[in-house]
């Protein structure tokens, strides 16, 4: 049966995803051995003969997928996405269609299966990344391609290459992932460029196969676009292979995202901790945990998710700095995760001191820097407010009656006490519970206190 877009069905399958808000991206493969990033083959024009030997030493004895998923769970993440196959063509699963796979390496392990079992054991929604391009397959375009390692080598002409035969291979491997590993929650394709987009991948056929084998699965939008571009759902003309969410890369949309008719779009910003997706031993330019916490809050306040990347090393371990960052984020999420999970935009203007997220009749004021004098709770009137509590410990925060804000009678202020330093210098969160009638005035954002 031909696929037709259904808004109710779409919203039903997206509910867990927009509730999770925070996920772990895992880029891992042979490129962890040269340790110069996942694009090392393309950047350095490495031929098969110089890259294939890495297969003979891939034996990450320290890889413990239960520990990986435990770290994700402790960080407050609700889902994860692992690279089943990246652009180099190396598979972390036991594909019947190639020998270039982890089960043929000294490791002899199907890491996709281990990952999925670990994710399910921890209650984490499990997704897989799959590259649409494959630099090792003989039928994928070589010379003149935009990205292929041999793009500048005229000896690697495209004569005799059969792209339909390559597409058969691509579809067969996706079928394996959708058939042999149980339920998948998300499939993250990567990526389309130039003439290789949409039906160039036989995308309608591919998406129909995936949806028939994995009912309720979520697809990203990269059968149509790359890290730039929004796709057909955003244009309000969904194709059979439309993406269920927009996937901006290494950027958080300045104002969130809306479709062509002005309706909010589901989106996910995928972001690295340093400057590479795959392990890069020399890249020490890590974003701090406080910065990433605030960026997670920013995404949620704009109606988006954050997919935060870790590139494990060749031994199968998270880099020490990545592990430390996840632990710090987890400590904050343990106290403040209610302001992230199940939350979205507040409908209120961003305050100078931070951001605001919302779930039903709870508004979460995220305070990144303290104010001089009491803290203004913009958008509220005193009669709207039922309670103000510091989310981390549930302690009451009284409304201010100080004379210092007597010139601003239309603004309600919270009294954070005499200490000019915030209780949490990263992000102190106030949970403000409002009356069900708040937001019912003409032109105001509707309030559904039962909504996630």
Task: State how far the alpha carbon of 24 is from the alpha carbons of 102, 268, 277, in Å.
Answer: 22, 12, 12
Q: Which fold has domain 7-338?
A: TIM Barrel (3.20.20)
DSSP structural state of residue 209 = H
Asked, colleague to colleague, whether 7-338 and 346-434 share their fold, the answer is no
- What's the pLDDT score for residue 198? 98
Task: State how far the alpha carbon of 83 is from the alpha carbons of 30, 38, 39, in Å.
Answer: 11, 11, 13
Digit-coded pLDDT (tens) for 292-324: 999 999 999 999 999 999 999 999 999 999 999
Q: Which has the closest alpha carbon to 399: 365, 425, 445?
A: 365
- CATH class of domain segment(s) 346-434: mainly beta
What tens-digit pLDDT sequence spans the chain (452 residues)? 678 999 999 999 999 999 999 999 999 999 999 999 999 999 999 999 999 999 999 999 999 999 999 999 999 999 999 999 999 999 999 999 999 999 999 999 999 999 999 999 999 999 999 999 999 999 999 999 999 999 999 999 999 999 999 999 999 999 999 999 999 999 999 999 999 999 999 999 999 999 999 999 999 999 999 999 999 999 999 999 999 999 999 999 999 999 999 999 999 999 999 999 999 999 999 999 999 999 999 999 999 999 999 999 999 999 999 999 999 999 999 999 999 999 999 999 999 999 999 999 999 999 999 999 999 999 999 999 999 999 999 999 999 999 999 999 999 999 999 999 999 999 999 999 999 777 654 333 444 433 33
Prediction pTM value: 0.96
Q: At what angle do helices 320-336 and 289-301 cross, to 10 degrees?
A: 50
Digit-coded pLDDT (tens) for 134-163: 999 999 999 999 999 999 999 999 999 999
Q: Which has the closest alpha carbon to 353: 387, 377, 384?
A: 377
- What's the pLDDT score for residue 269? 98
Q: Which two tokens stand for residue 130?
A: 């799959």
**Residue 394 class from Cβ within 10 Å (0-12 exposed, 13-18 middle, 19+ buried)?**
exposed
- What's the pLDDT score for residue 180? 98
- What's the pLDDT score for residue 443? 35
Domain ranges of the chain: 7-338, 346-434
Q: Which has the closest alpha carbon to 168: 129, 140, 149, 128?
A: 140
- 22-26, strands of its sheet edge to edge: 218-219, 186-190, 125-131, 79-85, 22-26, 304-310, 267-271
Digit-coded pLDDT (tens) for 229-273: 999 999 999 999 999 999 999 999 999 999 999 999 999 999 999
């Amino acid at each position: 049966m031909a696929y037709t877009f259904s808004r109710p069905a779409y919203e039903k399958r997206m509910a867990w995803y927009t509730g999770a808000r925070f996920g772990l991206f895992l880029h891992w493969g042979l490129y962890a051995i040269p340790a110069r990033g996942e694009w090392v083959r393309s950047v350095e024009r490495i031929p098969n003969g110089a890259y294939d030997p890495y297969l003979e030493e891939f034996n990450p004895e320290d890889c413990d997928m239960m520990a990986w998923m435990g770290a994700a769970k402790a960080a407050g993440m609700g889902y994860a996405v692992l690279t089943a196959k990246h652009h180099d063509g190396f598979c972390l699963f036991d594909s019947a269609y190639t020998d270039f796979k982890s089960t043929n390496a000294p490791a002899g392990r199907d890491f996709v299966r281990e990952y999925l079992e670990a994710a399910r054991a921890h209650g984490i929604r499990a997704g897989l990344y799959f590259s649409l391009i494959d630099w090792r397959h003989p039928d994928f375009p070589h010379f003149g391609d935009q990205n292929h390692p041999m793009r500048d080598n005229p000896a690697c002409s495209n004569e005799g290459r059969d792209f339909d035969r390559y597409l058969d291979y691509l579809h067969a491997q996706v079928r394996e992932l959708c058939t042999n590993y149980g339920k998948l929650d998300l499939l993250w394709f990567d990526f389309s460029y130039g003439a290789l987009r949409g039906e160039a991948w036989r995308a309608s056929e591919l998406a129909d196969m995936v949806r028939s084998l994995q009912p309720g699965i979520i697809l990203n939008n990269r059968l149509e676009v790359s890290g730039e571009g929004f796709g057909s759902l955003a244009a309000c003309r969904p194709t059979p292979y439309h993406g269920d969410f927009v996937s901006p890369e290494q950027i958080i949309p300045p104002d969130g995202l809306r479709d062509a008719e002005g309706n909010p779009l589901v989106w996910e910003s995928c972001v690295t901790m340093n400057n590479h997706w795959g392990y890069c031993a020399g890249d020490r330019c890590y974003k701090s945990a406080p910065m990433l916490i605030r960026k997670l809050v920013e995404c949620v306040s704009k109606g988006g998710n954050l997919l935060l990347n870790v590139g494990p090393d060749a031994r199968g371990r998270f880099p020490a700095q990545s592990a430390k960052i996840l632990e710090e984020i987890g400590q904050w999420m343990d106290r403040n995760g209610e302001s992230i999970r199940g939350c979205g935009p507040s409908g209120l203007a961003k305050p100078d001191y931070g951001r605001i997220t919302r779930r039903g009749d709870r508004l979460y004021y995220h305070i990144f820097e303290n104010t001089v004098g009491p803290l203004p709770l913009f958008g509220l009137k005193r009669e709207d407010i039922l309670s103000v509590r510091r989310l981390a410990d549930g302690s009451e925060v009284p409304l201010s009656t100080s004379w210092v804000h007597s010139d601003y009678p239309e603004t309600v202020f919270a009294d954070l006490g005499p200490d000019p330093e915030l209780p949490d210098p990263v992000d102190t969160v106030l949970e403000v519970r409002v009356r069900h009638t708040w937001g019912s005035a003409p032109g105001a954002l509707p309030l559904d206190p039962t909504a996630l």
